[in-house]
C-alpha cells in the first residue's frame, strides 16, 4: 500500500491495526545519500569497533534524508497455516508546517540519487506528496506555541489580543502605523463594551491573507467555538507530527523488528523522528520490536522500493527461522519473543558481526592486528610483500598512509612485532 | 524547447546557432535552495556592501544545486520588424561519469523544494534525465586521465599493458592471485611474439563486466583502431563536459546577457560550470554577454520554469529599452552593445542598486547610519522609540542584539552620536 500526504490520515487506522495484530515487523529505508565525506571503504573499515562505526555514521550520514520508509507486517494465520502480510510504502518529506516551523536542509549524494533514479524511484511523489514529520523536541515546541496562543486567547472570557506594553506610550508608534493601530484600538474598545459576549479569532483565507473575525456570541456558543478551535488545533498538531506517529506506534508495540543491514535505518529513524542521536551508542531506550495484504509478488521484482525490501527481509527471516526450527516469532510463543536480543548487523566488520543494543558489545581478541604506517605511494601489494614471511594477511586501509594488518596465524604476532619494529 | 540528457547531443547545434545569431540573451536558473544558514533577511541586509553580499551568498548559497537553466535567445528580424525568440529549458544533474569521477553532494532546502513542487516542477526529469557537467578543473583532470591512459597504450606500437615493477619479484604476488598473474603473463609473452601486430584493448560489457580484447592486426589497421578509439574518447569527454559546453558558448559569444535579480544565477553558473568563486568579487574575467521558436505564450503562465522566466525577462528588457528609446541591442548597433556595463542587481540593498562587474562599485555616503547594539528582547518599536527625536528612521537588523539604524535627516547624525553615546 502506497502512503503519501494525500491518504495518510485515512490510512493511519489501517497501519495501526496492522502493527497491533502483527507477530513481527520488517522495516527498510531509502536515503538521499550515505556519506558526506569518506568513501564507503573508509566509512566501513573492517576493524572498526561498534562505537567507531556508530560515530562515523552519526557524523557522516545523518544529514541525508530518509525519504521512503517501508513497513511490512507479518501475522501468522494458525487456521490457514500461512502468514498474512501487509506492506506499506511511506513517502516522507519535511514540508515546512507554517511560517515559524523549521526549514529543514538535507544533503543529496549524486551517486545515490542516480542509483535510485535508475531503479525508477519516484522523486516527484516524495517532494510533492511526502508525509511531513516532527521529532519529539519540535513536537513539544509546537505544542507550547499552541498553548501559549490559547492562554492569550478568549478562553477566560477575555477577547483574544495581546495587551500593549504599558511602558511604551503611543510615542513609540511610528507615523506609518498610526492609522492601523487606531483601527485595532476600535476592537479594544469593542471588547470593553461586550466583556463576555465577544469571540475574536484570526483567520486566514486560502490565499494566506489574514483577517480578524469578531462575532457577538453568548457564553455557551463561545465555549462551543473554543472547543472546536482546540480540536482543530489538535488535528493540526497531529498532521504536523505526521509520519512520526507510525514510528511511535512501532516503538510502543514492543514487537520484534527485523531488517537487513539495519544499523543505518535505525539511526536515521531515531535521528529524524525522535531526537538527536546520543554521543555513544546507548540506544537502549529505543527498543523497537515489530509484521498483510500481500501487495508484492516475489516474481515481480521491485528491489529498492523500501516496502518491497522490507517484505523480502521478512520472508528471509521466516525461512531462516523455519530452517533453524524455531517458531518463536508466532504469537503462540510470545514469551520467547521477549527473549530475543536487539542486534544490528555491522557491515564489513571482520570479527564483530553485530552491534548489541540490549547488552555489552562483543570484545574480540585483536592481538594479531598491527597498526602500520608507510609512505603514501604504497599499495596493498607492498604490504603483502613486507609481511610475506607471516603467511596470509588481511589489510584494512585507514587512509593513504596507514592500515590495519591482520595476521592469520595469531601465534606469530610477537615474533612479528620483534622483527619489524 | 526542453533539453535533457536524452536529446542534449542532438540539440547542441541548434543551441549553438541560436546563440550565434542572437542579438541578446536572457538567462534564469532554478536552485535546490537559497541559504544553508541565515534566513533571507539576514542574508540580504539592506546595508550590505556589494562585497558583503557577495561573500554571504558565496558562503551560504553555493552548496545548493542549479538544476534547471533557462536560456532565451532574442534575434531582431529587420524585415518583419519583430523578434525571433528561441527558448531552451535545460535539466541539469551531476550524474557521476565513471567510477573515479566526483560524487557531488548538494543541499536541498525544504521550503525551496516545496515551492518548486507546488509549481509543478518535475524532479524526476532532473534526477533521471539531467544533463551532466564538469567545471574546468574537472575537465582538465579527465583529459589528463585519458592522455595518461593513451601514453600507456599501444599508440607507439607497443602492446597496452603496464610493465610490472622490476623491483618487485614474483614473491610479492599473493597465493590466490598467482594463477591470474600467470594468465596475464601469457599476454605478455604474446606481445613479444607479435611486437608490432597486436592490438590490446580493455572493454566493458553492458553489465559492466570488463574484459581484455587482443586482436592480431597489421600496422594500418592498428592505426585506424587507435584513431577510432581517440575519437570515441573525445566524444566521452564531450559528454562528460556536457552542459558546461552551453555556458562556454554563451561566454565566448560575448553577447549581452540579461536576467532578473541575476547575482545568484551568475554566481551559481560560475561555481558549477567554471571554477571555485574568487574570494572577492573580481568576476571580470567572466564577462558573459548573451538571444526563435516562440515556445512560450505569455497568456499561458509557466512562472518558475527557468526557460519561461528567462523569456519574460527578455520581453521586459525589450519593453524597457523601447521605452528608453535606445536600440543598442539590435545587431545593427553592435558598437553600442560593447559599451553596456555589466551590472548585477543587488536585491534589498537600500543605496547600492547593483554590483558593477566592469568597474568599481558605487560608494554611497553612509555617515547617517549608526551601528546600534541592545538587549536581545528589543524589537523594532524599541528602536523607533529610542530614536523618536530624530524623525523617521530605517532599521536593518543584523542579528538579535544589533542593527543598522539609518536616520533620514543626515545633518542630525552628529547631534545624535553626542546625545546617545
Average of per-residue pLDDT across A302-309: 78
Asked if pLDDT for residue B48 goes beyond 80, the answer is yes
Report chain B's mean pLDDT, rounded to a whole number.
80
What's the pLDDT at B326?
Answer: 52
Is A384–B172 a contact, with Cβ atoms under 8 angstroms apart? yes
CA triple A84-A88-A92, angle to 5 deg: 165
Task: Tell me the C-alpha distance between B160 and B162, whole Å.
Answer: 7
Distance from CA of A349 to the nearest CA of B (A): 22
The beta-carbon neighbor of A104 closest among B110, B116, B171 is B110
Average pLDDT over residues A259-276: 90
Task: Give B324→chain A minimum CA distance, Å.
Answer: 34
CA distance A110 to B105: 6
Q: Report pLDDT for A64.
A: 97
Interface mutation vs chain B, best among A41, A93, A108, A118, most B CBs within 10 Å: A108
Burial class for B421, CB neighbours closer than 10 Å (0-12, 13-18, 19+): exposed
Mean pLDDT, rounded, for B151-171: 46
Q: Name the residue facing B124 among A124, A168, A385 (closest C-beta).
A: A124
Euclidean distance between CA atoms A356 and B344, whole angstroms = 58
Size of interface A-B (CB pairs under 8 A): 108
pLDDT, tens digit (0-9, with 9 covering 90-100), for B208-232: 788 888 888 888 888 888 888 889 8
Say if CB A30 and CB A306 are below 8 A apart.
yes
Of the given ranges (A146-150, A291-295, A390-394, B309-313), which has the lowest mean pLDDT?
A291-295
Q: Sort out which chain B residues have CB atoms less than 8 A from A392's CB and list them.
A: 174-175
Asked if residue B127 has pLDDT above 60, the reply is yes
* Dihedral over Cα of B45, B49, B52, B56: its sign: positive
Residue B106 has pLDDT above 60, yes or no: yes
Spatial separation of the C-alpha atoms in residues A266 and A280, rounded to whole Å: 15
Name which of B93, B105, B382 is nearest A107 (Cβ-Cβ): B105
- What are φ and ψ of residue A401, in 5° steps? -125, 15
Residue B321 scores a pLDDT above 70:
yes
Tell me: pLDDT of A133 over 50: yes
Is pLDDT above 60 for B290?
no
**Nearest-by-CA chain B residue for A383:** B172
Q: Does the pLDDT value for residue A314 go beyond 80?
A: yes
Question: Which of the pair, B304 or A2, is modelled with greater confidence?
Answer: A2
Is it the case that residue A168 has pLDDT exceeding 60? no
pLDDT of residue B97: 82
Q: Is the pLDDT of residue B32 over 90?
A: yes
| More confident: B148 or B333 | B148
Q: How far apart are CA A394 and CA A404, in angstroms?
A: 8
Q: Which of A94-108, A180-194, A226-240 has the lowest mean pLDDT?
A: A180-194
B165 touches chain A (CB under 8 A): no
Contact state of B172 with A381 under an 8 Å Cβ cutoff: yes
User: What pLDDT does B79 receive?
Assistant: 94
CA distances from B67 to A126, A260, A310, B104 (A): 17, 34, 32, 13
Å from B44 to nearest chain A CA?
Answer: 18
- Chain B neighbors of A128, CB-CB under 8 A: 117-118
B67 pLDDT higher than 90: yes
Q: Pick from A98, A61, A92: which is nearest to A271 by CA?
A: A61
Q: Which of B421, B381, B409, B411 is nearest to B397 (CA)?
A: B381
Q: Taking CA atoms, what residue in A is nearest to B167?
A: A382
Put simply, whether A105 touches B (Cβ < 8 Å) is: yes
Residue A302 has pLDDT above 80, yes or no: no
**Domains along chain B with CATH numbers:** 2-133+242-356 (3.30.420.10), 138-238 (no CATH), 369-420 (3.30.70.330)
Distance, in angstroms, between B380 CA and closest chain A CA?
10
Please tell me which residue, A175 or B123, carries the higher pLDDT value: B123
Q: How confident is the model at residue B398 (pLDDT cuts 50, 70, 90)?
A: confident
Return d(Cα B261, Cα B353) in angstroms, integer. Answer: 11
Residue of A nearest to B37 (CA): A105
**What's the rounded mean pLDDT across residues B285-311?**
58
For range A315-342, the mean pLDDT: 56
In chain B, the percentage of residues whose pLDDT exceeds 90 is 35
Least confident stretch, A106-120, A342-356, B47-61, B285-299? B285-299
Read off the C-alpha cell for B80: 518583419
B 15-44 near A (Cβ less than 8 A) = 32-33, 36
Gap between the Cα atoms of A86 and A346, Å rounded:
28
Interface of B with A in 309-328 (CB under 8 A): none
Whether B33 sits inside 8 A of A105 (CB atoms) is yes
Split at pLDDT 50, 70, 90, the class of A139 is very high
pLDDT in tens, B328-379: 444 333 333 344 457 777 777 778 878 777 778 888 888 888 999 999 999 9
pLDDT at A420: 43
Q: B392 — contact with chain A (CB < 8 Å)?
A: yes
Average pLDDT in the A227-238 region? Answer: 90
**Chain B positions in Cβ-Cβ contact with residue A126 (cut-off 8 Å):** 123
Cβ contact A108–B103 (<8 Å): no
Q: Cell 547631534 belongs to which residue?
A: B415
> B124, A123: Cβ pair inside 8 Å?
yes
Residue B418 clears pLDDT 50, i.e. is over it: no
Mutation target to probe the B interface, by most B beta carbons within 10 A, among A110, A170, A177, A184 is: A110
SS3 call for B304: coil
Q: pLDDT at residue B404 above 50?
A: yes
Percent of chain A with pLDDT over 70: 77
Q: Do A385 and B175 touch (CB under 8 A)?
A: no
Contacts of A93 in chain B (CB under 8 A): 110, 113-114
- Residues in chain A with CB shorter than 8 Å from the CB of B388 are 171-172
Which of A245-259, A355-369, B29-43, B326-340 is least confident? Answer: B326-340
pLDDT band for position B413 (cuts 50, 70, 90): very low
pLDDT at position B416: 43
Q: Kind of pairing, strands B66-77 and B82-91? A: antiparallel
Q: Which residues of B touch A123 (CB under 8 A)?
A: 123-124, 126-127
The residue of A172, A175, A242 whose CB has the most chain B CBs within 10 angstroms, and thus the best one to mutate to test that interface, is A172
Separation CA B66–CA B93 (nearest Å): 8
Mean of the per-residue pLDDT values of chain A: 80
Strands (E), B6-118: 24-31, 66-77, 82-91, 105-109
Q: What three-state secondary structure class fits B191?
A: helix
Per-residue pLDDT tens for A50-106? 888 889 999 999 999 999 999 999 999 999 999 999 999 999 999 988 777 889 999
A-chain residue closest to B92, CA distance? A110
| CB atoms B382 and A172 under 8 Å | yes
Please state, in angstroms and rounded to a whole number, the distance separating the CA atoms of residues A225 and A220: 9
Closest CA of chain B from A174, distance in Å: 7
- What is the per-residue pLDDT for B207? 75
Whole-number Å distance between alpha carbons of A172 and B386 = 8
Burial of B366 (0-12, 13-18, 19+ CB in 10 A): middle
Query: B174, A124: Cβ pair inside 8 Å?
Result: no
Q: Tell me the HSE value of B238 on the side-chain side, using a 13 A CA sphere.
A: 11
What pLDDT sits at residue B343? 77
What's the CA dihedral at A282, A283, A289, A292 to 10 degrees?
-150
Mutate one of A95, A103, A166, A242 to test the B interface: name it (highest B CB count within 10 A): A103
Contact of B117 with chain A, judged by CB distance below 8 Å, is answered with yes
Q: What pLDDT is attached to residue B218?
A: 81
Nearest alpha carbon to residue B383 among B407, B365, B366: B407
Interface of B with A in 198-227 (CB under 8 A): none
Most confident of A53-57, A362-366, A416-420, B199-203: A53-57
**Per-residue pLDDT at A288 exceeds 70:** no
Strand, coil or helix: what is A183? helix
Note the pLDDT of residue B191: 61
Q: Picking from A68-77, A384-393, A404-413, which range would have the lowest pLDDT averaged per residue?
A: A404-413
* pLDDT for the residue numbered A388: 86
Helix (H) or strand (E) holding A112: helix A110-118
Is B60 in CB contact (< 8 Å) with chain A? no
User: Mean per-residue pLDDT for B289-316?
Assistant: 65
- Percentage of chain B with pLDDT > 70? 77
Closest-CA residue of chain B to A386: B172
Which of A114, A122, A392 is opposite residue B124, by nearest beta carbon?
A122
Residues in chain A with CB shorter than 8 Å from the CB of B124 are: 117, 122-124
Q: Count CA atoms closer than 13 A to B123's CA, side-chain side.
A: 27
pLDDT at residue A156 tops 90: no
Calculate how close chain A gets to B373, using CA atoms only, in Å.
18
Residue A104 to residue A242: CA distance in whole angstroms? 15
- pLDDT above 90 (res B410): no
- Higher-scoring residue by pLDDT: B354, B411: B354
Spell out which residues of chain A touch residue B103, defining contact as CB-CB under 8 Å: 109-111
Q: What's residue A316's pLDDT? A: 82
| Pairing assessment for the beta strands A256-258 and A24-31 based on DSSP bridges | parallel
**Mean per-residue pLDDT for B132-152?**
88
Q: What is the pLDDT of residue A79?
A: 94
Query: Cβ distance B187 to B160 under 8 Å?
Result: no
What average pLDDT does range A336-363 have in this prediction?
71
Read off the pLDDT band of A415 (50, 70, 90).
very low
- pLDDT of B282 > 60? The answer is no
| Position B273 confidence tier, pLDDT thresholds 50, 70, 90 | very high
Averaged pLDDT, A234-242: 93
Interface contact B110-A124, CB threshold 8 A: no
Residues B20-43 have a mean pLDDT of: 91
Among A204-213, B38-47, B243-252, top mean pLDDT goes to: B243-252
Confidence category of residue B163, pLDDT binned at 50, 70, 90: very low
Q: Which residue has the higher pLDDT, B197 or B244?
A: B244
Q: Phi and psi (nearest 5°) for B345?
A: -55, 135
**Among A108, A382, A392, whose Cβ lies nearest the Cβ of B106?**
A108
More confident residue, A328 or B260: B260
Amino acid at each position: 500500500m502506497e502512503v503519501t500526504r494525500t491518504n495518510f490520515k485515512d490510512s493511519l487506522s489501517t497501519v495501526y491495526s496492522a502493527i497491533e495484530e502483527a507477530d513481527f515487523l520488517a522495516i527498510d529505508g531509502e536515503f538521499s545519500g550515505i556519506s558526506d565525506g569518506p568513501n564507503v571503504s573508509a566509512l566501513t573499515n573492517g576493524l572498526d569497533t561498534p562505537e567507531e562505526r556508530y560515530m562515523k555514521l552519526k557524523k557522516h550520514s545523518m544529514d541525508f534524508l530518509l525519504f521512503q520508509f517501508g513497513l511490512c507486517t507479518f501475522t501468522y494465520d494458525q487456521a490457514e497455516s500461512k502468514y498474512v502480510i501487509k506492506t506499506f510504502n511511506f513517502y516522507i518529506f519535511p514540508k515546512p508546517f507554517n511560517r515559524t516551523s523549521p526549514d529543514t536542509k538535507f544533503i543529496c549524494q549524486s551517486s545515490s540519487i542516480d542509483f535510485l533514479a535508475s531503479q525508477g524511484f519516484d522523486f516527484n511523489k516524495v517532494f510533492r506528496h511526502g508525509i511531513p514529520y516532527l521529532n519529539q523536541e519540535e513536537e513539544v515546541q509546537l505544542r507550547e506555541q499552541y498553548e501559549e496562543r490559547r492562554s492569550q486567547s478568549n478562553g477566560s472570557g477575555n477577547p483574544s489580543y495581546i495587551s500593549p506594553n504599558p511602558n511604551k506610550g503611543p510615542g513609540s508608534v511610528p507615523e506609518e502605523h498610526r492609522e492601523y493601530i487606531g483601527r485595532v484600538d476600535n476592537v479594544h474598545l469593542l471588547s470593553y463594551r461586550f466583556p463576555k459576549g465577544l469571540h475574536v479569532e484570526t483567520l486566514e483565507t486560502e490565499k494566506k491573507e489574514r483577517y480578524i473575525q469578531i462575532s457577538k456570541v453568548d457564553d455557551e456558543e463561545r465555549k462551543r467555538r473554543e472547543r472546536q478551535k482546540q480540536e482543530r488545533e489538535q488535528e493540526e498538531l497531529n498532521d504536523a507530527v505526521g509520519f512520526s506517529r507510525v514510528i511511535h506506534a512501532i516503538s510502543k508495540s514492543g514487537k520484534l523488528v527485523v531488517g537487513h543491514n539495519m544499523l543505518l535505518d535505525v539511526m536515521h529513524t531515531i535521528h529524524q523522528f525522535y531526537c538527536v542521536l546520543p554521543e555513544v551508542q546507548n540506544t537502549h531506550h529505543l527498543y523497537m520490536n515489530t509484521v498483510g495484504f500481500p501487495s508484492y509478488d516475489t516474481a515481480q521484482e521491485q528491489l529498492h522500493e523500501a516496502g518491497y525490501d522490507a517484505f523480502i527481509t521478512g520472508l528471509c527471516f521466516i525461512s531462516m527461522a523455519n530452517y533453524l526450527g524455531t517458531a518463536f516469532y508466532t504469537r503462540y510463543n510470545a514469551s520467547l519473543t521477549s527473549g530475543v536480543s536487539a542486534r544490528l548487523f555491522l557491515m564489513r566488520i571482520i570479527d564483530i558481526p553485530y552491534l548489541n543494543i540490549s547488552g555489552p558489545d562483543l570484545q574480540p581478541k585483536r592481538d594479531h592486528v598491527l597498526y602500520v604506517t608507510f609512505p603514501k605511494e604504497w599499495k596493498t601489494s607492498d604490504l603483502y610483500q613486507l609481511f610475506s614471511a607471516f603467511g596470509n594477511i588481511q589489510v584494512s586501509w585507514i587512509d593513504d598512509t596507514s592500515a590495519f594488518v591482520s595476521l592469520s596465524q595469531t601465534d606469530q604476532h610477537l615474533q612479528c612485532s620483534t622483527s619489524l619494529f
